[in-house]
Every structure is written in C-alpha cells, then in structure tokens.
Amino acid sequence: MTTEIPNPATGQVEHRQALMTSNAVEAALHAAQAAFPEWSQRSVQARGDVLRAAAGVLRERRQDLQQVMTAEMGKLKPEALAEIEKCAAACEFYADNAQGYLHPEQIATEAQSSYVRYEPIGCVFAVMPWNFPLWQVFRFLAPTLMAGNVALLKHATNVPRCADAIAAVLQAAGAPEGVLGVLHIDNDQAAEVICDPRVAAVTLTGSERAGKSIAATAGSVLKKCVMELGGSDAFVVLEDADLDKTVAAAVKSRFDNAGQTCIAAKRFIVVEAIAETFVTRFVEAAGKLRTGDPNDSATTLAPMARQDLREELHQQVGASVQAGAKLLLGGAPGQGYADYPATILDHVGPGMPAYEQELFGPVASILRVKDEAEAVRVANDTSFGLGGSVWTADAARGERVAQQLQCGAAFVNAIVKSDVRLPFGGSKRSGFGRELAQHGMHEFTNIKTIYVA
Ligand code: NDP
C-alpha cells in the first residue's frame, strides 16, 4: 500500500510512500537487536562523539532539511531553520551532560556500598507526530541514545521524508547500523512492533486517541511507556500585566507553527479589569498575521499540516460559535489548500468545544474571569495538564499562581517551551512520564540498585 503526501501549501502530491513489508520490519528489528550490545558498551564519550557529529550534519544540511519539513507539513522557513538548530544544540547538550546524568548515585546505608546505576534497557520504539517533525524526534532520541539504548522510529504518515532524513543524518554522523531504524508502517504493524520481545519500551508524542491505543498495547505486554499527549494550556493575564510584552507573547505562543503545538497557549484567561484592553490589542496584533507560501518571508502564519486537520478545527470553531462564543477574528478556511486564518473566539465557556477540547490550529479562546482566584479555578477546569503561563508585573504573585496550576510546566512572564535543561511532560490526560533533562534520560534506563553487604 502507498500513501500520497500532498504539499500543504499547494495540495500537489509530491511523494508517495509505500508501507514496509513484514520482512523489512523484521530486518529493522533484527538490526536494532544486533546493534544494542556494542552501542550500549561504548563509553559515554564515544556515544557523544556520534551525537556531536550529528549536530554538525544537521547544520550542514539545514537548507535541505528545511525544504523537506516545509514541503511535508508546511512549516515556515525561519521556524524550520530554528527547529533544526534546536535539534543540533540538543545533540551537543546530551553529548556534554550525559556522563553527569548517568553517573552512579551513592546512597548511604548500613552496607559497605550501596548505590544506583542507570543502565540502558535496549530498543526504544518511538511513535512521533508531524508538528515538529525533527524536534519531537531529537527530543527523545538524543537522551535515549546517550543512555546507551538504540531506537526505532515510526513517524507520522505525512512526514516520511523527514523520518528518512533523520536516519540519514545519524548515518552520516557515524552511528552504526541499527542504532536508529525507521519504520514506515501503519498502526496495526506498530502494535506488533510494540509487542515484539526485541522492543523494550515505547514513547509516543501525539493525540489522546493514539495514547490510549498505544498505552493499552504496551500495557498488554507490560512494557514501560512515556506519553506526551495534547494540551490546552492556560495563558493567565492578571490586571497588572505588561501588555506590550504579554500581547506579543500571546500572538507568538498561539500562532507560531500555525497553532499546531502541544504547549501553545490555547485558553487566554483574562481578568475583567484588563480584559477589554487585552482583547482589543490581541485582535489587532493577530489580525496582522498573513497566510501564504511558507517559503515566502512575507508569510507569517503557516498553512495547517493537513486538510482534514483544518476541517476538524473549523468544525470546533463553528460548534463553539453556535454554543455562544463570539467570533472576533477569522473563522473561515483561507484560500490556500490548508490555510486557516488567525482566529479569536471571545466569551468562551463550559460546554463549548473551545473550552473542553484541544484546538490544534490557529484559534485562540478568550475566557473572561473576575479575579485571580477565578483565573486559577478556570485554568484548572480542564482534563488537560501539559503547561500554563501567568502574566503579571509581580513575579512573586505570578509564582504563587504558577504553583497552583495543575500541569507539568508553569511559566511566569514567559512562553511555555521545551528546554533541554528542564524536564518536559504532562499531568492529567496530557500524559505521563518525562522527556529531557536528567528525569527524561532516566525514563528509559534500568534504575538499578547495587548493595554490597
Ligand atoms: P495522531 O496522534 O494520530 O498522530 C501522532 C502519531 O501517532 C503518528 O505517528 C500517528 O501515526 C501515530 N498513531 C496514531 N494512532 C496510532 C495507533 N493506534 N497506533 C500507533 N500509532 C498511532 O495525531 P494526528 O496526526 O491525528 O493529529 C491530531 C491531533 O493529535 C491534534 O489535533 C492534536 O490534538 C494531537 N497531536 C498532539 C501532538 C503533541 O505534540 N502532543 C502532536 C500531534 C498531534 P499515523 O500518522 O500513521 O496515523
């Protein structure tokens, strides 16, 4: 079976991807198993040399990689180049810091010696999404490889050339065959891979629907999994917020990457005293965003990655308006094949899709609240728990509010972002487990106690 991959900017089919046969999947599983002993026994330093070389290859190939990303999922050229650089920096960061993260931890007991070792577990199977087609992969890959594991990647169906380009980067960097294998497979084949005894664990970044299915399969064979799922992050604007900075951040956080970011601000929870001014300025700033060719520097809002995603988003907007939300900007599909304009819904409330569900595209929801206490209550009135941010002139107040947000990462006067130095992940239905930093690196290790009496 082959899948046609249209360019989201034009609708033209530029690539047809064939699914792998069971023999090809078997060969990839075999290669991963064969690569593990030597890779896991290499010194951390030697593994780091490969990751440092990968950073160099990423930078050398950035123009080609950008074109593939833009052709497959419509990313704006500057956003793609920034993503590639972030991947290169992550490779270098884990090459430099893995030794410290993996260092055995002495724990004093009555024993002569007792300590914890972080040992690699084998092959980690990654199911990854299209929205950051390089970064989502390197976010798990750099720490996983540095921990001594090998990896198999099933990327989203719409970004097969990104998957192959990542494998080519690792190969050019000198990674032995089998250290990273790419599987072009469907979801049924993915379930078989999860169950294969040569696979030790699974990591997913994607939707709740995919999470339920993959976690159930992993659970059926008692395999560890990390789930990075959707979010509907609160962006809490208190009455003392610096509006120049806050409005600029609101536009960036909601509309970068055409709004297709798990940690994008999605629910703008604004206290009454500042709501009118914030909303007016937010609408004015977002109204300047221009859809168009993602390779053209005049385009400031990327097309959505697929037409079906745009349709789903538009339905959520329509149903929210029918339920009483007020449309202030946008709200109808654009001219381009998968364009959707910057859209703002005001007076969003319980029962509306914009309140209850994730809007994975360029649509902002405004929720007006009386005061700080109500802002916290509304921010937490969601099944999601990925990130959140608070905007205020009083950092101590912001910190107090941030501590009350039920999510994996709460930022004060800054946009929620993933940072290689900090753990990343969600609570509630946004998933479980962590990526990045020491916590992420330890997820796919055997945290082993050694006790010498
Ligand atoms: P999916 O969750 O369907 O896709 C993400 C990845 O999971 C893809 O590789 C996909 O493969 C795979 N996948 C999906 N279902 C299964 C399954 N049962 N078994 C194995 N693999 C599976 O996301 P969509 O592309 O449909 O995007 C829709 C929604 O997902 C968005 O609206 C957003 O809510 C959420 N999402 C969240 C992301 C995040 O960063 N947290 C990223 C992307 C999406 P395939 O493409 O072959 O189906």
Closest-CA residue to 166 (of 108, 230, 87): 87
Token pair listed for 431: 């998933």
The rounded Å distance from CA 319 to ligand 1 centre is 23
Residue with the smallest CA separation from ligand 1 atom 8 is 156
Q: 234 forms bridges with which residues in the sheet?
A: 267, 388
Whether the full predicted model's pTM is greater than 0.90, yes or no, is yes
CA 129 – CA 123 distance, rounded (Å): 19
C-alpha atoms less than 13 angstroms from C-alpha of 273 in its C-beta half-sphere: 10
Predicted ipTM of the assembly: 0.96
CA 152 – CA 143 distance, rounded (Å): 14
Put the strands of the sheet holding 224-228 in their side by side order: 180-182, 150-154, 123-127, 199-205, 224-228, 431-432
Q: Domain 2-229+430-452: give its CATH superfamily.
A: Aldehyde Dehydrogenase; Chain A, domain 1 (3.40.605.10)
Q: Which residues are catalytic?
A: 228, 262
- Is there a shared CATH topology between the 2-229+430-452 domain and the 233-420 domain? no
- Which atom of ligand 1 is the closest one to the Cα of 229? 41
- Which atom of ligand 1 is the closest one to the Cα of 261? 40
Put the strands of the sheet holding 445-452 in their side by side order: 105-106, 113-120, 445-452
Is the minimum distance from the CB of 360 to ligand 1 under 6 angstroms?
Answer: yes
Q: 388 forms bridges with which residues in the sheet?
A: 234, 410
CA 440 – CA 261 distance, rounded (Å): 20
Q: Domain 233-420: give its CATH superfamily.
A: Aldehyde Dehydrogenase; Chain A, domain 2 (3.40.309.10)
Ligand 1: which of 5, 205, 207 to mutate, judged by most atoms within 8 Å of the beta carbon?
207
Is the minimum distance from the CB of 129 to ligand 1 under 6 angstroms?
Answer: yes
Is the minimum distance from the CB of 206 to ligand 1 under 6 angstroms?
Answer: yes
CA 231 – CA 359 distance, rounded (Å): 9
Is the minimum distance from the CB of 262 to ligand 1 under 6 angstroms?
Answer: yes
Residue with the smallest CA separation from ligand 1 atom 15 is 210
Give the pLDDT of the chain (453 residues) as one tens digit per residue: 899 999 999 999 999 999 999 999 999 999 999 999 999 999 999 999 999 999 999 999 999 999 999 999 999 999 999 999 999 999 999 999 999 999 999 999 999 999 999 999 999 999 999 999 999 999 999 999 999 999 999 999 999 999 999 999 999 999 999 999 999 999 999 999 999 999 999 999 999 999 999 999 999 999 999 999 999 999 999 999 999 999 999 999 999 999 999 999 999 999 999 999 999 999 999 999 999 999 999 999 999 999 999 999 999 999 999 999 999 999 999 999 999 999 999 999 999 999 999 999 999 999 999 999 999 999 999 999 999 999 999 999 999 999 999 999 999 999 999 999 999 999 999 999 999 999 999 999 999 999 999
Alpha helices in 205-264 (DSSP H): 208-220, 243-255
- Which atom of ligand 1 is the closest one to the Cα of 190? 20
In the chain, where the domains are located? 2-229+430-452, 233-420
